Amino acid sequence: MSVPDIIKKKDYEKIIFVLRRHPITFIPIMFLFIVLMLVPVAVYLLIENLFPSILTGSILYPLTVLLGSVYYLSIYLFFYVQFIDFYLDMWIVTNDRIVDIEQHNLFHRVITELDLYRIQDVTAQVQGIFSTLFKYGDVTVKTASTTSNIIFRNVSNPNLIREQLIKLADEDRKFHYSQEQSGG
């Protein structure tokens, strides 16, 4: 998915950042996926060693294969949904606006736009050992409205992004102020 497919840029607009979550934040989900994939193997080995004759029945064996298949398909679906949520969450910062794209489910996406000159406060939050070591955290962009705050979750270099957003907001404010003064 490329940026021109998502947003229609204005003539004077330049893309400054295309932000996604830090890749290390997906590792716990991958670890959980691997553990959940190994559970049926461990259960099979346990049953095979303790009760070797149970899985040889004409009814129980096909039922076990069917339940194992349903379990694996469910785990694949869970992993796929988590990956789609991780990969399709995106924040696009231009010299005029912020576009927040949040994927909530497979078929539920919310896109929010915020003009840079409306920004009143930008906060970077790095919390925890891993966040500090791998330099990722949350950046909260606040406006006067209570409904249009945007949070960039688990992005790389949150302090740099905060500084750049403040700088871009000041430049955009000056541009809009000069437009109002000139009557255009």
| Per-residue pLDDT tens listing for the chain (184 residues) | 666 677 788 888 899 999 999 999 999 999 999 999 999 999 989 988 888 887 777 888 889 889 999 999 999 999 999 999 999 999 999 999 999 999 988 889 999 999 999 999 999 999 999 999 999 999 999 988 767 789 999 999 999 999 999 999 999 888 877 777 776 5
Spatial separation of the C-alpha atoms in residues 13 and 8, rounded to whole Å:
10
Which amino acid, one-letter code, is at 41? Answer: V
Query: How far is 70 from 47, CA to CA, in rounded Å?
Result: 19
